[in-house]
Structures are given as C-alpha cells and as structure tokens.
Chain A
C-alpha cells in the first residue's frame, strides 16, 4: 500500500500552501491546510499500524538521492513496529495540539507563520521517524532542530524569545557534531548508511578497535557514543540540557508538541532504532543509563522550587526523558519506547492545560495563582489526571510505563543497573511531589493574584478543552496496552516491539517484581502526601525550609548554576575572540578595506581619466595628431 508515502508529504504540502498563501490569502484560516494534513497523516498512520499489527513490514526506497562513487543514499521508508508506534504518537498527539493551537494562537499576527512552521516540523519529524537510512534520519533531525528554532523564537520581537531560539539551535549543534561524526564512522566501517545492512552486519565488528590519535578505541563503542552525542543534544540530557527550560519562551502548543511529545523523544527513538549497535557495547550502554539517570534526578530536584508553571513541566520533561534513556541503557528499549508513548500523552496534556491556565491569567507565575479549580474545572480535572499519570499513580498510563523502567533497572544484567535503580526510585519520589506542588499552588487555596485578574478568569473555549479531554483519555488508558504479566496483562506492547527491539532478559522473580512495584508506588504516594501537607495544609513549612536551608534552595532555584558556568567558560571567551579578532580585525580592517577600497580606487581612476575630456578642441587635436603619428610609426616598423 503506497499510501504511507503521504504520511510525511501531506504536512509538507500544508507547509508550502501556508507559507506561500498564508499571509495574504488564508490569514486566519491558515489552520485548515495544517490541521487537515496532520489529521490525514493520522488516519493513514492508523491504517498503517493495523497493517503492521498483522505482520506487514515495509522497507522501500522511493528515490535515489545521492550516488557518488561508492556512496549511495536513497530516500526510503522503513515501517516496522517501532516506526508504527512513533507515527501514532506524532500524528495523534500532533493533531490534538494543532486543534488546540487554533484557539490558543487566535488573533496572533503571525498566525499563518505559526501553522506553516508546525507543518514543516511535522514533515521533518515524520521523515525522521520513517527513515530507512542515517542520512534521512539526520535530515529530519536537523529539520526539527531548525523548526524548533523558528517556533521558540516565534515572537521574535521579544529578546528573550529570540535568544532562547538561538540557544536551542546552537546547543543542539554541539550534539549534532558528534552525531555527524558517528554517521561518518558508520559509513567508513560499513560502506553504507542504510539501517538494514548496518544492523545486520554490526555483530561482525564486535571486538574491533580503531586507532584514534594513538589510542586503541573499541569501534562499536565509539560509534554508539558519537551517535549518543546527538541524542544528548536533541533530548536535552546533561550536559546539553540548558536549552530546554529556556525553550519555554515559545508558545505553549510548541512546548507541548516539540518539547514534550515529539522532538525531544527523537533521541530515545534513535537509540532504540540502533539497539543492534548499543547491545554490543557495554560501555556505551552504561554511559546512556547513567547520563539518563543523573539527568532525571538533577531535573527533578530543580523542578521542586521553580515558580514558572511551564518551567516546572519542562524540567519534568527532562526528568522523564532521563528515565527513557535509563531504560534503553539497561537494555529495556521497549520499556523506554513505552514510556515515550505514555509520556507523550500526559506531558502534552500538562503543557496544554498549563497553556489554558496562562490563557486565563496572562502570566506564568504559580505564586500568583491559586484557587483556579472553580473557574476552570475542565482544565483542573484534566491537569490533575495528567499529574497523577506522570507521578506514576497506579491504574493510569504513566504507572505502567514507569514501573516497567524501574523493574528493568533493578532486574537487568547491567552492572550499573542497581545504581540507576536507586536514582530512579528517588525520582519516583520527586515526580509526584513537584507535579502536585504545581497543582495545589495553581488550582487550590485562595487566589493570590490581583482583583482585576480575578474578574477575567474563565474556562478556555471548546477548541482548547476538547483536545485536553481527549488527551486525558489517552493519559489514563494509553498504558493499558502494556500491562505487565505479573499483574495479569499480556505485555502486548513489548511483544509488539520485540521483533525490532529484542527481548531483554531479566533475572528476577514475580515476587521481586511485585515488591519493587509496591516500593516505588509507596514512595510515589509518599511524595504526593508530602506535597499535600506542604502546599495545602501546612503551607508555612516550605517557606521555613527555604529560609533555613537557604544555600540549598538558592542552588536549586538557580538550576545548579549550569547556565552561569557555561556562560563563563564558553560563551564569554567565544564572544571575546569574536570581538577582538573577527570583528575588530577581519571584519573591520580586511573586509571593510576591500569593500571600501575597491570603490575608492575606481573613483580615483575615473577622476583622473575624466581629465582627458577637457572640452578644449586643441587638446583633442593633439591626441588625434599623436595617434596618427603612432599608427604611421607602427606601419613603417612592421610593414
């Protein structure tokens, strides 16, 4: 069935229509091409999923892109269970966000531009996900990066938004540099960059080393780590996490789509897709797991003291992404993808509900909110469900995926498994704590804003609340396809992905699994209880803690000063070199010299040439006579 070709190209067509006709022709109807395109992609993805469930796998090349000597790259599609899951995530959550954005961006003067960029992003993401070779993956990778830049800096007249867009793109490029090197190594080793040949041949290179600057480095580990660099940048893991909180300058639908459900998960997708490579390198897998776990705990602690509602959710995203990488790092790729899938629903829901709140109070500061649940009941209930799901409360989607990660960390054969299990269990405490801190401070208690603001509080229009409700259904029920066997389910999700991601072997009994589940659930409930006490009942406790432990509070509030560190070590020296050498010398002296010098030289030349035309007839006569003499001279000499 060739319809799957339309999946990425419908949004591309919507982008072209919007960017060419949007400003003059479509104006405030610009949402029609984009929304129809992504809903169309969703329908086709759904039927593709049904095909894949029945066992069909598509690996087709559409068009030969590059042939250069031995280097051959095609534009092709690989639709297998992993791709099918990703397609559903991107198109389903994406469609709901597109519909929500109709209400949220209503009246904005860049309305058509917003939907153009959303469609371009959707196209890039779908190309990334359906790629059957690394170059197409990289194309989609860069495409989503550049769309992220456009959309974060969407309100470009605001300096903080423009800076945030630049930061996101530049930090991403650091990661992409390593990623590109990884792809080069793959080509050098395998002679091709298509998935199927690489993954089927990689086991032959298992023990090989390669000579880098005199050191013998394991080849597969090198490739895996270089590819992971890209994932660290794109999925905002430590040390390249700094762009994601600043990315909240963009409109909330952007935060929901790009920085929760789809773009940042591209790193997890890539690592899972390359599981054949990672499985052969214990070092790389340990690095992935530890980076993921440390990022997870790091972000969770920061989220506990932030006051901007979107920043809290952004750090929550960092934390959950860390958990996904942790799962991949211990070999449980299916658990990581499962969490990616459930996370898309509840995180997008959290962002969209936060957008609904921001729409009502016109600012992001939770310390100035409160008591909103009686003004915005739908937003409240859906956000509450999302927070319960994120926190891992039993029964909801987040619980099943999170628990699978925690159990995988405990029971895996990995050497770092126990260590990261401790970290992720700590995260299981913090997650419901900061999520419910946000809920209680926003929706419960008394309204802490101005009287003027209180009059304007209202629920959002239906075009915004209906996606919230639909996402809430997803946040509750999406996890039910992966209920583990120990609780009576069929673990269908993991079985569905097993042909692509393999079946990890765990050494643990059912009793241990139930025990771990119980432990993490009780820790989560304890976190919820603590949030309940701190932010609802005895609200003086957090104030007292912040005062008594002020240094700790300050470090957490300032995000461990990582931004300041980078500013000092990287940004300031770069700007110094740029100003001293590039602007001061190359730009000012050399280029200005040429650009000013050439016209000046021409001016001097023409001024002097002009003197020939004196207007005096006898001068012309002299020239004629002299010319005639010269001609006669030449005639005599050369005849």
Chain B
C-alpha cells in the first residue's frame, strides 16, 4: 500500500503551490485558480485520511468543501467581472484604492 504520509505530503505540497500562486501571481483568474488548488489540496488530505481509517466522515466533509468551493468561485468570478468592467484590468497590483 502507499503509506498515508505520502498522500499527506502530496497534499501539503499542492497546498504550498496554491499559496505561492495566490501570493505571487498578478492575474486575478490565476489567483482564483490558486485558491481552488488550495481547496483541492485539503480535499486530498481529507480523502486520504478517510480511506486509511475507513471512516466516511472525511468523504462527507470533502463534499462540503467542493460545494463551498463551487459557490465561492461563482461569486468571486462575478466580482472579477464587475471589477473588470470598472477598471479594465485583470492585474491585481493596479487596484490599490484602499491604500493608506
């Protein structure tokens, strides 16, 4: 069998890639993709633990996470579209009205 620690390591690495992407990229869509990546990393963690202790509660929580991710993506993209209509840019470092 593949040891649990490998799956958890995978989850951590994917999560870190997601954090790095969120903090570094300029494009808003890429930032959203990073957020989805972080959520999916957590899902990997939940499913792998749930499989190894033979409990279904991890799977159920993963379902919740998927549902929340979907809803959040919908609203977030709506905000992005509103932002794009106002500022004509998808680069997040050009939007700093809340400075100071």
Partner-B contacts on A (CB < 8 A): 610, 613-618, 621-622, 625
| Contact between B99 and A615, CB atoms less than 8 A apart | yes
CA distance A610 to B92 in the complex (A): 20
| Contact between A621 and B22, CB atoms less than 8 A apart | yes
B 82-100 binary contact with A (CB < 8 Å = 1; else 0): 0000000000110111111
- Interface residue B71 (Cβ < 8 Å from any Cβ of A): no
Q: How far is the CB of A581 from chain B (nearest CB, A)?
A: 45
CA distance A616 to B99 in the complex (A): 7
CA distance A613 to B96 in the complex (A): 10
CA distance A621 to B93 in the complex (A): 13
Q: How far is the CB of A475 from chain B (nearest CB, A)?
A: 82
Q: A615-B98, A618-B92, A625-B19 are in contact. List 18 more A-B contacts (CB 8 A).
A: A610-B100, A613-B98, A613-B99, A613-B100, A615-B95, A615-B97, A615-B99, A616-B92, A616-B96, A617-B92, A617-B95, A618-B22, A618-B23, A618-B24, A618-B93, A621-B22, A621-B23, A622-B23
| Contact between B99 and A625, CB atoms less than 8 A apart | no
Contact partners of B95 in chain A: CB under 8 A: 615, 617
* A-B interface, 9 closest residue pairs, ranked by CB to CB distance from nearest: A615-B96, A615-B99, A615-B98, A618-B23, A621-B23, A616-B96, A610-B100, A617-B92, A616-B93
CB-CB nearest in chain A for B34: A621
Q: How far is the CB of B11 from chain A (nearest CB, A)?
A: 15
Within 8 A of A (CB), among B1-35: 19, 22-24, 31
Partner-A contacts on B (CB < 8 A): 19, 22-24, 31, 92-93, 95-100
Interface SS majority for chain A: helix
CA distance A304 to B94 in the complex (A): 93
CA distance A9 to B31 in the complex (A): 83
Q: How far is the CB of A609 from chain B (nearest CB, A)?
A: 11
Q: How far is the CB of B37 from chain A (nearest CB, A)?
A: 14
| Contact between B19 and A615, CB atoms less than 8 A apart | no
21 CB < 8 A contacts A-B: A610-B100, A613-B98, A613-B99, A614-B99, A615-B96, A615-B97, A615-B98, A615-B99, A615-B100, A616-B93, A616-B96, A616-B99, A617-B31, A617-B92, A617-B95, A618-B22, A618-B23, A618-B24, A618-B93, A622-B23, A625-B23
CA distance A615 to B96 in the complex (A): 4
Q: How far is the CB of B32 from chain A (nearest CB, A)?
A: 12
CA distance A564 to B96 in the complex (A): 73
CB-CB nearest in chain B for A622: B23
CA distance A621 to B98 in the complex (A): 15
Contact partners of B92 in chain A: CB under 8 A: 616-618
CA distance A621 to B26 in the complex (A): 13
CA distance A621 to B32 in the complex (A): 13
Contact partners of B22 in chain A: CB under 8 A: 618, 621
Q: How far is the CB of B65 from chain A (nearest CB, A)?
A: 18
Q: How far is the CB of B48 from chain A (nearest CB, A)?
A: 20
Q: How far is the CB of A345 from chain B (nearest CB, A)?
A: 79
CA distance A218 to B53 in the complex (A): 104
CA distance A610 to B93 in the complex (A): 18
Contact partners of A610 in chain B: CB under 8 A: 100
Q: How far is the CB of B93 from chain A (nearest CB, A)?
A: 6
Q: How far is the CB of A288 from chain B (nearest CB, A)?
A: 77
CB-CB nearest in chain A for B92: A617
CA distance A622 to B20 in the complex (A): 10
CA distance A622 to B98 in the complex (A): 17
CB-CB nearest in chain A for B19: A625
Q: How far is the CB of B17 from chain A (nearest CB, A)?
A: 13
Q: How far is the CB of A72 from chain B (nearest CB, A)?
A: 65
Contact partners of A618 in chain B: CB under 8 A: 22-24, 92-93
Q: How far is the CB of A597 from chain B (nearest CB, A)?
A: 25
Q: How far is the CB of A406 from chain B (nearest CB, A)?
A: 89
Contact partners of B24 in chain A: CB under 8 A: 618
CA distance A308 to B92 in the complex (A): 88
